[in-house]
Structure 1
Amino acid sequence: MSYSESWTSFHCDNPDFVVRSVPDNTSFKVNRTLMRNSEVFRDMFSFGKTGSSDLEEEQVDLHETSAVLIALLRLLHYPPAPPVLRQENENSPQAILNYKLPQRVYDLTTVIPLPLLLSLLYDLVDKYALSDAITKNLNAHLVAHAPTFPLPVYGFATAHRLDDVASEASQYLMPLASYKAEEVAVIPSVLSYHKLVRLQALRVQALQDLVFGEDIFPHGYGVCPSHQRETTALWEAKRATLASMIETVTDISGEMETVAESLPKTCKECQKACTAAVQMLAYKSRTTIRRIDQLPVES
């Protein structure tokens, strides 16, 4: 059963209490101990009557629909585990050389759908004061959506002061000018928008500096005596063109790698020098500023 399906039903194996949906007149048998994952219910049980063996006497009425109660009771009785990562460690040598950003791939059957998170589950966290452990795991599910839906994740996280989640999402955003006005409207404040503007401007500048700073034969190292002039000219021409086109999501290493296609195929020195320069760009582009928590303090 996927996460999207599991939120439509609820069952408790060892109930000792009843929660009733007033709008739908539907009752759910629940476990009192597990309900204490909510501060609201914990306080209620502390001051209410306890000990009856008759479930009908052990009941509370809530003005929530059955659908909302099912979601709440599942959170309390079956707290969601963090989503399962399927991709290799983002800090492995292969990942560092091959990817501009740490793209994490999750098993989608273990990820709570984003609409369910944003429209319901976080509201229940606030309304019923759910435990920190439950909130932490919901945040992990929110982060899992950041690479695919960075703007709504950033907007929601910023509005709810989930700074770590907002920072994670900020690195995956497309250039702000590429979004429609109604899409950008999810950003809750001028300050949170300004942070993105600064981040993207600084990252573009940093990527441009990297491109201009990485030579194909740095300090004459690995120079090819037969093709030095031609190879250097190709590298210079490509980076001059690329620098004027760089955006915050540009893969500068991938773009510069195309130089290898124009180099002499049989020249091992030129091919090796190009590969080394491209790999260095890949590494440096991953370590340069890409998240709002890396922004320097404004003077």
Structure 2
Amino acid sequence: MTLTWTTFICPKPDFKVRSLVDGATFPATRSALLNSDVFGDMFACCDSEKSGQQDEVLELQESSSELAALLRLLHDPPAPPTELPLEDKFQKVTYDPATVIPLPLLLSLLFRLADKYAINESVVATLRMHLRANARAYPLEVYGFATLHNMEWEASEASQYILPLASYRFEEIKLIPNVVAYHKLVRLQDFRVKAFRDLLLGEEIFPHGYGECATHVEKTTDSWDRQRKALMGRIECVTDVAGEMATLIETFNNCKICHKACTAAVDMLAYKCKRMPRRLNQLPNIY
């Protein structure tokens, strides 16, 4: 999929559209323009005997680059971004960057044109897919835009990538459009911190004595407890709890039983952490 939006070529034109800003004229196809309710209504109300002739010209108050993008949306709507293969069911979806429409183009131009000209809903749905595809790289921008435009699913998708709110500068936080949207993120991040702590406190290296090392049980248990207590005060909503505890594994290299028990405990912790809600729409109703 080509992402060049500043040029447009129509192979079989039967109409012309001209920019009132800089005078550029583009050949177009009337049937493609009907993907816009605005043009559809215009043709229905204002058709003349010259309808269908190539000397017809529609003048619009858009620059040539904006007009090219509009005509691209109507004649050759973008395909959805391509998802990359997942390694496991808990992995976050990623996309081929070459197939994703850049966020500045989406926010400053394409969504505006789609709204202004009431473009077909299927085209808008694809633009929203591209918005979600940008969430990992630009979570605050996507969250703010999606919230402002009542795109709840896209806002929720972006929420999982937002860092602890205190880590952002004031200028960045202003991308969040209102206090309600801010508070939703506070609740999500608070839930994750508390849940991480509960998981960590509940995970034992020898659960119910299973896999216990008769020689080192007390020493190994104490090491596990010290490590998780030290971690408790540093947990944030994006902390890799299992990864932090995994640094303990190598200290048990001299004992196969303890090493195996620590590896199993870390793996179980990682599994439980992956299952934890990470988006706004996953928060329990009672929270």
- How would you bin the TM-score normalised by the shorter chain? over 0.9
* CA offset digits 1:161-204 (Å, max 9, x no partner): 11001001101111101101111111111100011111111110
Question: TM-score of the superposition, structure 1-length normalised?
Answer: 0.91
Q: State the 1:52 CA deviation.
A: 3.9
Q: State the 1:53 CA deviation.
A: 4.9
Aligned to 2:62: 64
Change (3 A) 1:197 1:12: same
1:12 aligns with 2:10: yes
Partners in 2 of 1:136 and 1:90 — Cα distance? 27
SS in 2 for 1:10: coil
User: Which one of the candidate residues 246, 253, 274 is aligned to 2:235?
Assistant: 246
Partners in 1 of 2:46 and 2:66 — Cα distance? 24
Partners in 1 of 2:98 and 2:259 — Cα distance? 43
1:213 aligns with 2:222: no
Partners in 2 of 1:157 and 1:106 — Cα distance? 19
Aligned to 1:227: 216
In the alignment, is the contact (CA less than 8 A) between 1:90 and 1:104 conserved in 2?
no
Q: State the 1:39 CA deviation.
A: 1.1
Of the two structures, which has the highest relative contact order with CA contacts closer than 8 Å and spacing of 6 or more? 1
Q: State the 1:289 CA deviation.
A: 2.4
Aligned to 2:261: 273
Q: State the 1:2 CA deviation.
A: 4.8
1:1-299 map, 5 Å: 2-3=2-3, 6-49=4-47, 52-56=51-55, 58-88=56-86, 90-91=88-89, 96=90, 102-263=91-252, 265-297=253-285
Change (3 A) 1:172 1:53: closer
SS in 2 for 1:20: strand
* Letter of the 1:247 counterpart: E
* Letter of the 2:188 counterpart: L
In the alignment, is the contact (CA less than 8 A) between 2:197 and 2:235 conserved in 1?
yes
Partners in 2 of 1:74 and 1:238 — Cα distance? 57
Aligned to 1:99: none
* CA offset digits 1:125-164 (Å, max 9, x no partner): 1101111111111111111111111111100110011100
Q: State the 1:104 CA deviation.
A: 3.2
Q: State the 1:90 CA deviation.
A: 4.8
Q: State the 1:32 CA deviation.
A: 1.2
Q: 5+ unaligned residues in a row in structure 1: which ranges?
A: 97-101
SS in 1 for 2:25: strand
Q: Single out whichever of 78-87 and 111-120 deviates more from structure 2.
A: 78-87
Partners in 1 of 2:13 and 2:86 — Cα distance? 41
SS in 2 for 1:222: coil
Question: TM-score of the superposition, structure 2-length normalised?
Answer: 0.94
Q: State the 1:24 CA deviation.
A: 1.0
* CA offset digits 1:241-265 (Å, max 9, x no partner): 11110001000011111110111x2
Q: State the 1:23 CA deviation.
A: 1.2
SS in 1 for 2:247: helix
Partners in 2 of 1:298 and 1:230 — Cα distance? 40
In the alignment, is the contact (CA less than 8 A) between 2:15 and 2:52 conserved in 1?
no
In the alignment, is the contact (CA less than 8 A) between 1:21 and 1:69 conserved in 2?
yes
Q: State the 1:296 CA deviation.
A: 4.0
Q: State the 1:9 CA deviation.
A: 0.7
* CA offset digits 1:12-55 (Å, max 9, x no partner): 11111111111111111111111111111121222232664531
In the alignment, is the contact (CA less than 8 A) between 2:6 and 2:66 conserved in 1?
no
SS in 2 for 1:29: strand
In the alignment, is the contact (CA less than 8 A) between 2:250 and 2:259 conserved in 1?
no
Among all aligned residue pairs of Structure 1 and Structure 2, give the percentage whose two residues are the same amino acid.
Answer: 52
Count the aligned residue pairs.
286
* Letter of the 2:133 counterpart: A
Q: State the 1:280 CA deviation.
A: 1.5
Q: State the 1:105 CA deviation.
A: 2.9
After superposition, the CA RMSD in angstroms is 1.7
